[in-house]
Each structure stands twice: as structure tokens, then as C-alpha cells.
Chain A
Amino acid sequence: MIYLDNAATTKVSEEVFESMKPYFCEQYANPSAIYSFAGKSMKAVDEARKNIADLIGAKPNEIYFTAGGSESDNWAIKAAAELYNTKGKHIITSTIEHHAVLHTCQYLEKQGYEVTYVNVDEYGVIKLDELEAAIRPDTILITIMAANNEIGTIQPLKEIGGLAKKNGILFHTDAVQAYGHIPLNVDELGIDMLSASGHKFHGPKGIGFLYIRKGVRIGSFVHGGAQERSRRAGTHNTPGIVGIGTAAALAADGLQARMEKETALRDYLIKRVLTEISYTRLNGHETDRLPNNANFCFRFIEGESLLILLDQQGICASSGSACTSGSLDPSHVLLAIGLPHEIAHGSLRLTLSEETTREDIDFTVDAIKKIVERLRSMSPLYEDFIKQNQKEEA
């Protein structure tokens, strides 16, 4: 099997798994308990918190554990909206956010908030002039993702953070795809809140965190016990927390080298696909993109068919076609970068990991070539296109 869907989830690394093991059957104490048996668990939680904070230049007491990226996004956005609703009810986001942000914003619209969805350019980069123009006296929150989950485009966070700061507005970023994959520093980028999820960087599923800058006084989202300095109730998921902490430490180790390796392999993949398969385009920015992300559109074919045939070759990938989104519309991200529906239906996302080899890429590109050719040979769109060309030539 060749696993090229690391943006969906990643394999838990051996070191992460080993570090978690003692916290199931041996060190199972509730970290909040008073006896010394629990002390070891709390120490492990604290250590994880520090590893996580270190990776983004934050302080450990600014990290709040959650059940994952979606909870973190919901918390940040809803609690910020609630906290500042006397100042205003206007929120700025983008058209290409993850649904955890988009649907949360849409929920708030129903509660009487106003949301501006700032457009992106053809590469998926947010239009900064539009963002600046959208800022109003009653704007209370800017929430823009760090890097896009589908097309991998990295956003100009520093500029966005600067605009937010200049105007006294909170800046939240969904960094679920970026954390552990590219360098992020909350102070340099002017980030007030940041969401991330363990399973996107070789940690376990069901654990994530929200970074909340000291002084940002958003309220609780999950009410109950006094865990997480009374801001996020619920017994600590000790094995999960230990796991995400180990994953953060591993991600920090050799981040630069890993980025270089992945980027080289990614660019090799992109080059092969674009030069060897005609009527193909790369989605997202050529250079300002996640090191492990490649996203293509193959004209005249549909994504689900492509995925099924790739699966039969043992290749795991994903697509933004309607059939994979569960609706009649293809991905909102591909439409936002200006692709017509028929082209957006033919998208393929390949996301690499540290373990991906050049052989994997070669095998995959060879498979894609054959599959695209086969699907085009049975596509009425391709037939029309070829006939049109022949007509024009004659």
C-alpha cells in the first residue's frame, strides 16, 4: 500500500505509541488527583504541554488541550464572538476555510453575527487588500487558516496578524494542517489563538489543543471541572496528551530537514505529473505551499473514478469531487480559486509523509498516467474536445 492521504490523517509514529503505552494500564491515574500516584501523570501532561508550546514559541500556560481541531476552532470562534459581542458582531474569515470554521461562522450568522468571507486569488492566497477593506469598527475577530487542507496554500499570516493588531482585533488561525509541518511562531506572526490536532502530525486521534495568548479572556466552551485552569473541563486524556506531546517534540526535531526532503519529493511529483500528463493543472501556490501537499486537476475526468482505480493499485489518495464530498458540488476551495465545476470534479490530492519514497512517487505517477488515459478514453467531454480540435485544425 502507498499511503498518500496524510492530510486526512497520519500514522501514529512508533515513538509516539511507545510513549503513550504506560498511561493506559500502569499510569492510569487521573492527573488531577492529589495522591502521589497521580503526580506522575500530571508531570507527563505538563511535559507534553511544554513540548507543544515550544514548537510555536508560546508559553505552556497558553496551551489548552481539547479533543481536536474542530473543537478548538469552535471554541475559539464562538467564545470570542460571545466575549466581544458588546463591542461588535462582525467576523472576518475566508472562502477557503475548513468546514469547522465555515460552519461555525454560519452558525453565528444565525445568531445575529455578520461574517465577511474574504476571497482568495487563483493560487488560494487570501486577498489582503480585501481583508483590510473588510475591517470595520465593529469587527471582533479575524479567523484565517494557516495553510489550506486541500490545496496546501500557506497564508500570509504575518501580514494578517499585523492588520489585526493594528486594528485591535483578535486573530485566530486554524493551523491543523500547518502545525508540526512548517515553522510557526505566534509572536512573530501576531497570532492570538491557534488550533491544531494531534493526528495530523503522527500523534493520536481525538486530541488537539487551542493556543490562547495570555490576556485573551475568552470563556469556557466545555463547562464542568477545573481542568485546564478552569477553561476546558473534562478529565485529561493522559495517553492522548502524552502522545501529542511526543509528536510535537518529534516534529520539532529536524523540522527543517524534513521540510526540505518532502518539498524535493513533492516538486518531483508535481513536475512529473505536469510534464507527463496533458491537460493537467496544479492547484494551489507553486512555492507557498505545504511541503507535503500536491493537488491536481485532470481535465475531462471525474475524481471518484480516479480514486477507485488508484485504490485498486494500492494507492490511498483523495479528491474534491462532488461524489467524494457527499453533495452535488465539488470542493468549495477549488471553486473559490476560480475553477469551473467540470474541472473541479477532476481533482486529486496527494499528501506525502516523511516515509514516502521516490519509488512510491514513481509508482503512483505511472498509475495515474494509465488511469487518466483510460478514463479519458471513455469520457464524452474528451471526445468532444478532440473532435473540436480536429475541426479547428481542418
Chain B
Amino acid sequence: MYSEKVMDHFNNPRNVGEIENPSGVGTVGNAKCGDIMRIYLDIDDNGIIQEAKFKTFGCGAAVATSSMATELVKGKTVQQALEVTNKAVMEALDGLPPVKVHCSLLAEEAIHAALWDYAEKNNIKIEGLEKPVDDIEEKMEEEY
């Protein structure tokens, strides 16, 4: 049901892990639906993403989209990273089954959430970036 690229990124996920003192970190999704993604970004003084890492709780597609999304934003500027949409992630993975499209949306959201965190920490505004709605911490507290 998954493309070869999805299986490759699931079996050999790129950039798994954490970054200590990250420039920005974002967690989206919720455990209720079975998908949580956390993306860490290390952004240098010129606004270039030097490192991206992730941790994901979820299905094969959730892992693969996290892996691909982190690959796609590495080396990019913050503005360029904003252009890494869910569509771009899906295309890079040679597509996803229809029921798994939401995983690619989560990956896009996770990147945005990490960028939002970076912007808030540095008290800057990133053109075109809106506050991510999916705050997992809040949701989890509400639910449990």
C-alpha cells in the first residue's frame, strides 16, 4: 500500500532524534488520533536551517513524512522552509494512500510549529507564518 520511497523513509528514517537547546521545536497531532510529530530545528544567525530532527508516534506514513519533511527543510532559509507544503512532502515520497494524506499535513504543521517557536523565542515575525493551532500539550491536558 505504500510507495518504495515511503517504505525507505519508514525503514531508514532520516534525522530521528532531538536537538539540545533547539532554535525552535514544535509538536503537533494528538495521541487520540494516533499521530504525534515533534520537529526540532537548529537555525543559524543568517536564518538558515542547519539541522532538523524529529520524533514521531504514529503509523508508517507518519514516520516517513516526518523523515522527508526534515530532509526537505535542511539547508533552507526560514522563508524557503515555509514553502515545504504537505503536497511537496507527498510528492517527494511518490504519493501517499488517500487515508494517509493527513500525515503529510501534520508534517507541514510540525515544521510551522517549530518555526513559530523560533520566531517567538527571537521576538521576530516570519512573513506568511500563522500561529499553529494544534498544540498537543494543551490538548493532552484537556483530555486526560
Q: Majority SS of interface residues in chain B?
A: mixed
Partner of A302, one of B27, B34, B99: B34
Q: B62: CB under 8 A from chain A?
A: yes
Residue of B nearest to A327 (CB): B99
Interface pairs (14), CB distance under 8 Å: A301-B57, A302-B34, A302-B58, A304-B59, A305-B58, A305-B59, A323-B34, A323-B60, A342-B34, A345-B34, A378-B16, A379-B57, A380-B36, A380-B38
Known: A328-B33, A345-B31. A323 touches B56 (CB 8 A): no
Question: Which residues in A have their C-beta under 8 angstroms from that of B59?
Answer: 302, 304-305, 321, 323
Q: Is A383 positioned at the interface, with any CB of B under 8 Å from its CB?
A: yes
Contact between chains at B62 and A302 (CB < 8 Å): yes
B11 interfacial by beta-carbon distance below 8 Å:
yes
User: CB distance B31 to A383 under 8 Å?
Assistant: no
Q: Which residues of the other chain, A, contact B57 by a CB distance below 8 angstroms?
A: 300-302, 379-382
CA distance A125 to B57 in the complex (A): 31
Q: Could you say which residues of chain A place their CB within 8 Å of the CB of B27?
A: 380
- Decide if A216 is an interface residue (CB 8 Å cutoff): no
The distance in angstroms between the C-alpha atoms of A321 and B32, with both chains bound, is 11
Assess the B10–A342 pair: CB atoms within 8 A: no
Please list the 7 inter-chain residue pairs (A to B) with the smallest Cβ-Cβ separation, ordered nearest first.
A342-B31, A304-B59, A323-B59, A380-B38, A341-B32, A345-B34, A380-B55
Cα–Cα distance between A323 and B57 once the two chains are bound (Å)? 12
Q: Which of B10, B32, B37 has the most CB of A within 10 A?
A: B32
Q: What number of A residues sit within 8 Å (CB to CB) of B? A: 24
Partner of A322, one of B18, B34, B37: B34
Q: CB-nearest residue of chain B relative to A330?
A: B34
Chain B residues with CB below 8 A from A312, complex form: 11
In the bound complex, what is the Cα–Cα distance between A352 and B98 (angstroms)?
Answer: 33
Q: Answer whether residue B114 sits at the interface, using C-beta atoms and an 8 A cutoff.
A: no
Which of B31, B32, B33, B56 interacts with A378 by CB under 8 Å? B56
Task: Report the nearest A residue to B37, measured CB to CB.
Answer: A380
Distance of A326 from chain B, by nearest CB (Å): 7
- A183 interface contact, C-beta 8 A: no
> CB distance B37 to A340 under 8 Å?
no
A156 CA to B99 CA, complexed, in Å: 39
List chain B residues, Cβ under 8 A from A305: 10, 58-60, 62-63
- A307 CB to closest chain B CB (Å) equals 9
Instruction: Give every chain A residue within 8 A of B56 (Cβ-Cβ).
Output: 378-380
Enumerate B81-104 residues with CB–CB distance to A below 8 Å. 99
Which of B11, B31, B62, B99 sits near A381, CB closer than 8 Å?
B31
The docked-state distance in angstroms from the alpha carbon of A326 to that of B31 is 16
Interface residues of B in 12-48 (CB under 8 A from A): 13, 16, 18, 27, 31-38
Say whether A377 faces chain B, with CB atoms less than 8 Å apart.
Answer: yes
Q: Say yes or no: A341-B58 contact (C-beta < 8 A), given A326-B99, A378-B63, A380-B37.
A: no
Chain A residues near B33 (CB, 8 Å)? 322, 328, 341
Q: Is the CB of B34 within 8 A of A328?
A: yes
Q: Please, how many angstroms separate the alpha-carbon atoms of A85 and B34 in the complex?
A: 42
Residue in chain A with minimal CB distance to B36: A380
